[in-house]
């Protein structure tokens, strides 16, 4: 099946710094990718839809200036958490569609 | 906004017991998926149901899609400790494959 790779798998950063998470579709092209956030013991919450070559579409309540999404190619979308704070600590997961949704392995972000 | 209500959110049972997890919505979905997620990993697809009234079996797991394509259930027969995990139902919108998740059911099977 199709493979979606997410990097890094975990990251620890200092409060106030920015962190970039990459999501790559390894063996297919994806014009659309999705970013989710998952807090401990909770389900996945859709944050935004990443569209290749155009602006991302954010879900209600998600700050677009804080969570910058860039989808510059058909195989790569990036999520940058800007000026990270401890409350941004979470598990971030991306997905890309190829017949159905394929999920990355997730990135655990810890802001200290 | 399409919403999926999943229940129960937590279930603790003895090995060998049966259980059912429900996923309901007021919206019609083009398909519903069931995922299982291990801690620190992305969700792994178990099954996709597409046709109203469809029933799919995966070993001890039975998945049903409601006739109106608004609800689904997951039934596990003779649960094993290896079934412990987070089970998620998810619905895909038509066309965009935008996937919306239910709240999840955390299953714990005791030996």
Spell out the per-residue pLDDT of chain B, length 111, in tens.
568 999 999 999 999 999 999 999 988 888 899 999 988 889 999 999 989 999 999 999 999 999 998 999 999 999 999 999 999 999 877 665 678 899 999 999 999
Check residue B39 and give its pLDDT.
85
Closest-CA distance, B88 to chain A, in angstroms, reads 7
CA distance A81 to A105: 18
CA distance A70 to A64: 11
* Residue B49, phi then psi, degrees to nearest 5: -115, 135
Closest-CA distance, A83 to chain B, in angstroms, reads 24
Q: Among A32, A42, A105, whose Cβ lies nearest the Cβ of B42?
A: A105
Which residue reads 């909770």 in tokens?
Answer: A42
Check residue B97 and give its pLDDT.
65
pLDDT tens digits, one per residue of A86-101: 999 999 999 998 878 8
Q: What distance separates the 2 farthest-apart alpha carbons in chain A?
A: 39
pLDDT tens digits, one per residue of A18-76: 999 999 999 999 889 999 999 988 899 999 999 888 899 999 999 999 999 999 899 99
> SS3 for B4?
coil
Check residue A97 and give its pLDDT.
82
Tell me the residues of chain A between 39 and 68 that have a Cβ less than 8 Å away from chain B: 41-46, 49
Check residue A84 and give its pLDDT.
97
Chain A residues close to B101, C-beta within 8 Å: 36, 43-46
């Amino acid at each position: 099946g199709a493979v979606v790779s997410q990097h890094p798998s975990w990251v620890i950063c200092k409060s106030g710094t920015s962190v970039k998470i990459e999501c790559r579709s390894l063996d297919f092209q994806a014009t659309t990718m999705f970013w989710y956030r998952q807090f401990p013991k909770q389900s996945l919450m859709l944050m935004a839809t990443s569209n290749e070559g155009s602006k991302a579409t954010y879900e209600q309540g998600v700050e677009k200036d804080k969570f910058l999404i860039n989808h510059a190619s058909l195989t790569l979308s990036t999520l940058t958490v800007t000026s990270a704070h401890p409350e941004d600590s979470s598990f971030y997961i991306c997905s890309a569609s190829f017949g159905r949704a394929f999920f990355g392995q997730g990135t655990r972000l810890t802001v200290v | 906004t399409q919403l999926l209500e999943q229940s129960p959110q937590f279930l603790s049972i003895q090995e060998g017991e049966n259980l059912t997890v429900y996923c309901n919505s007021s919206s019609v979905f083009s398909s519903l998926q069931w995922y299982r997620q291990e801690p620190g990993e992305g969700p792994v697809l178990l099954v996709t149901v597409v046709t109203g009234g469809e029933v799919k079996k995966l070993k001890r797991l039975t998945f049903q899609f409601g006739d109106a394509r608004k609800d689904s259930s997951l039934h596990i027969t003779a649960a094993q400790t290896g079934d412990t995990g987070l089970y998620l139902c998810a619905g895909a919108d038509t066309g965009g494959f935008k996937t919306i998740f239910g709240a999840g059911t955390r299953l714990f099977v005791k030996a």
